[in-house]
């Protein structure tokens, strides 16, 4: 067994995902199966192979920095338009500091 | 005019000859799409106002005898993971059910600058995660060719609308095969360009080092034209390429005699026999066209799925962290603390496949596992890219099947995520290497299910890929 239900609960905590007991049970089995398949990578000899850090590293010229030019920002009103709760130009969230 | 069969050149011709106006065409396209949509559920919503405004601009240009843009009046559908200003963009997720983007994706803006008419947003797997379109929060899409079957995924809606004729062309996105596999299942052309060829600005991020925007169409010509319009450097995406964008449509009639084509042996084992028969018949056509065929080997192929599902889930777990109840419309009510709000919002909002991938991605990136998983996968990715680079020293293009099997039945594979992942074997490698690849129709099975042939070429050689696809289309008679 590659992964236990306790580990699944721990990972769910890291991912900030509230999962039901049923989901924990199901994902344990799914992740176990996928991680077992992933073990296949251990068959490869990767000595001296560089990790790919950029997709077109060996290809033609690509990414450059954009011009340092002023652009009109999105603006407060538009940026907040999709917020579930906002006020006074801010995103509002549940209280995090007790006074 | 038969709205379901129109192509871009026919629309241009009709507009210039004043046989119909852009507003008339758009009105008819919207009417037809709305009428047909219950059969497939391929559209999530229509953008009628925006479409008619774009059409009016075209008619005004025509009235002034101005030359309209290359996509003048063309009804286009856009996958609902690509943002459209003022038009709801849900990513087929409950989390974004009411999200109205405040800006346009670069590809969308370029479409409209070229006078294209965006008529609606298409259904897909939630956040583009899936191979069957069954992971949409708003119900699956049915394959227009065989309604009891899936259209493929994740861009299932974008493939289905083109196959159904309810859009002339569409935009999809591809991270592991999400354009080519549905194109093959629905019998249309689907193109994944070189990584960085099309700006990702405004494409909702799934796995940033693998995400691509690309076109669907009935003909190779229409995809070549649409790609030319949306491709090119965009300062808003630092990974978008500087390389010049050629006029892909100008090379389509060129001869392919003497073109060297590699057939990777790893892609021809484990095919359903009917798929193998169709692809072999397609290869026979290429041979008759004078292409030189040779067997090649891409030895790391068997490791691609494992490599892909580490990298894509790791990137997804990071990209999807932003849906936490603060900025993007949905927040779980009644959470007392900030952390409860995060956890409840995400637990209630994401569907099962998104959760599964966030979990796997968080696991492989968690403390102590980085070297064993993510770093190892990035090394394997180097090997996969090297396989292709080596092959392209000998051949000009590589030809393979797109999928080991044709469209499967709805529900057939939903309970076995690993089996679903494994079905992406032939399409994942092209994304990992970042090379251009496409699916072109290659006949049908005895049951009448479409089969797609995949063409892959060197970085930025979309022109070579289109040239071969176009010659194949003409010789095979599979167009439209």
- Main-chain dihedrals φ then ψ at residue B144, nearest 5 degrees: -65, -25
- Of A3, A16, A56, Cβ closest to residue B343: A16
pLDDT at B478: 64
Distance of CA B315 to the CA centre of its chain: 19
Give the residue carrying structure tokens 């089995």: A29
CA B304 – CA B380 distance, rounded (Å) = 8
One digit per residue, pLDDT tens: chain B, 480 residues? 789 999 999 999 999 999 999 999 999 999 999 999 999 999 999 999 999 999 999 999 999 999 999 999 999 999 999 999 999 999 999 999 999 999 999 999 999 999 999 999 999 999 999 999 999 999 999 999 999 999 999 999 999 999 999 999 999 999 999 999 999 999 999 999 999 999 999 999 999 999 999 999 999 999 999 999 999 999 899 889 888 999 999 999 999 999 999 999 999 987 778 999 999 999 999 999 999 999 999 999 999 999 999 999 999 999 999 999 999 999 999 888 999 999 999 999 999 999 999 999 999 999 899 999 999 999 999 999 999 999 999 999 999 999 999 999 999 998 888 888 888 999 999 999 999 999 999 999 999 999 999 999 999 999 999 999 999 999 986 644
Q: How far apart are CA B16 and CA B107, in angstroms?
A: 25
User: Is B154 assigned a catalytic role?
Assistant: yes
Burial of B413 (0-12, 13-18, 19+ CB in 10 A): middle
Instruction: Please state the domain count of chain A.
Output: 1
Residues A49-88 as b or e (16 or more Cβ within 10 Å = b): beebeebbeebeebbeeeeeeeeeeeeeeeebebbbebee
Q: Which of A3, A23, A46 sits opposite B376 (nearest CB)?
A: A46
Q: Is residue A13 part of a domain?
A: yes
pTM of the model as a whole: 0.97
Residues of A (12-31) whose Cβ lies below 8 Å from B? 12, 14-19, 23, 27, 30-31
pLDDT of residue A58: 47
Residue A26 contacts by C-beta under 8 Å, 6 or more apart in sequence? none
Residue A20 lies in a domain: yes
Whether A68 is in a domain gets the answer no
Both tokens of A61, joined, read 């010229």
pLDDT at residue A65 greater than cutoff 80? no
Q: Counting beta carbons within 10 angstroms of the beta carbon of residue A42, is it exposed (0 to 12), middle (13 to 18) or buried (19 or more)? A: exposed
* Residue A1 Cα, gap to closest chain B Cα (Å): 15
Beta-carbon contacts of B19 under 8 Å, excluding residues fewer than 6 positions away, are B1
* Contact (Cβ atoms closer than 8 angstroms) between residue B391 and residue B99: no
A27, part of any domain: yes
Q: For residue B54, what are the CA distances in angstroms to B45, B71, B123, B161, B275? A: 17, 11, 22, 20, 42
Helix (H, G, I), strand (E, B) or coil at B408: coil
Q: Indicate whether A56 belongs to any domain.
A: no
Angle between the N-to-C axes of helices B462-476 and B273-288, in degrees from 0 to 180, rounded to the nearest 10: 100
Query: In the structure, how many helices (H) and strands (E) does chain B have?
Result: 15, 11
Interface test mutation site (partner A, options B235, B306, B354, B459, max chain A beta carbons within 10 A): B306
Read off the CATH number of the domain in which A19 is found. 1.10.20
Q: Is residue A63 part of a domain?
A: no
Domain containing residue A37: 5-43
Has residue A89 been placed in a domain? no
Largest CA distance in chain A: 58
ipTM > 0.90?
Answer: yes
pLDDT of residue A59 exceeding 50, the answer is no
Residue B200 pLDDT: 98
Q: What is the maximal distance between C-alpha atoms in chain B?
A: 70
Residue A57 lies in a domain: no
User: Which residues share a beta bridge with B454?
Assistant: B400, B439
Who contacts A72 (Cβ-Cβ below 8 Å, separation ≥6)?
none
């Amino acid at each position: 067994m590659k992964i236990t239900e306790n580990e699944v609960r721990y990972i769910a905590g890291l991912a900030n995902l509230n999962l039901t007991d049923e989901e924990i049970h199901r994902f344990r089995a799914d992740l176990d199966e996928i991680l077992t398949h992933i073990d296949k990578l251990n068959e490869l000899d990767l000595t001296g192979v560089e990790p790919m850090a950029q997709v077109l590293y060996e290809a033609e010229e690509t990414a450059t920095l954009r011009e340092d030019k002023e652009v009109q920002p999105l603006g407060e009103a538009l940026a907040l338009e999709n917020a579930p709760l906002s006020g006074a130009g801010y995103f509002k969230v549940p209280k995090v500091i007790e006074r | 005019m038969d709205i379901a069969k129109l192509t871009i050149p026919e629309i241009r011709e009709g507009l210039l000859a004043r046989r119909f106006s852009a507003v008339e065409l758009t009105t008819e396209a919207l009417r037809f799409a709305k009428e047909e949509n219950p059969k497939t559920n391929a559209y999530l919503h229509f953008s009628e106002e925006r479409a008619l405004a774009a059409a009016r601009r075209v008619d005004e240009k025509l009235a002034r005898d101005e030359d309209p843009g290359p996509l003048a009046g063309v009804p286009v559908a856009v996958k609902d993971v690509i943002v459209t200003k003022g038009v709801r963009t849900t990513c087929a997720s409950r989390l974004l059910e009411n999200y109205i983007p405040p800006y346009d994706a670069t590809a969308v803006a370029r479409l409209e600058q070229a006078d294209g008419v965006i008529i609606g947003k298409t259904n897909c797997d939630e956040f583009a995660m899936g191979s069957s379109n069954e992971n949409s929060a708003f119900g699956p899409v049915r394959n227009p060719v065989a309604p009891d079957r899936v259209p493929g995924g994740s861009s299932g809606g974008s493939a289905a609308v083109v196959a159904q004729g309810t859009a002339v062309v569409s935009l999809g996105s591809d991270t592991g095969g999400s354009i080519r596999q549905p194109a093959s299942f629905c019998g249309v052309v689907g193109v994944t360009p070189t990584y960085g060829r099309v700006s990702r600005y405004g494409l909702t991020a799934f796995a940033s080092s693998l995400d691509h925007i690309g076109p669907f169409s009935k003909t190779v010509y229409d995809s070549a034209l649409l790609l030319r319009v949306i491709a090119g450097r965009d300062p808003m995406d630092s990974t978008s390429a500087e390389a010049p964008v050629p006029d892909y449509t100008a090379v389509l009639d060129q001869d392919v005699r003497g073109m060297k084509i590699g057939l990777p042996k790893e892609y021809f084992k484990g095919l359903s026999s009917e798929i193998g028969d169709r692809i072999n018949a397609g290869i026979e056509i290429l041979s008759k066209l004078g292409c030189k065929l040779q067997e090649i080997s891409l030895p790391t192929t068997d490791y691609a799925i494992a490599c892909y599902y580490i990298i894509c889930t790791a990137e997804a777990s990071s990209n999807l962290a932003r849906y936490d109840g603060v900025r993007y419309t949905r927040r779980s009510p009644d959470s007392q603390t900030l952390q409860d709000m995060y956890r409840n919002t995400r637990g209630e909002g994401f569907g099962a496949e998104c959760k599964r991938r966030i979990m796997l991605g968080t696991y492989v990136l968690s403390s102590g596992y980085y070297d064993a998983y993510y770093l190892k996968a990035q090394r394997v990715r180097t090997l996969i890219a090297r396989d292709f680079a080596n092959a392209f020293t000998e051949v000009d293009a590589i030809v393979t099947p797109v999928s080991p099997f044709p469209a499967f039945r709805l529900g057939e594979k939903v309970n076995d995520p690993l089996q679903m992942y494994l079905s992406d074997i032939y399409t994942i490698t092209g994304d990992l290497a970042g090379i251009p690849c496409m699916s072109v129709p290659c006949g049908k099975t005895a049951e009448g299910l479409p089969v797609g042939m995949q063409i892959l070429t060197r970085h930025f050689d979309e022109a070579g890929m289109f040239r071969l696809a176009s010659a194949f289309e003409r010789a095979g008679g599979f167009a439209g």
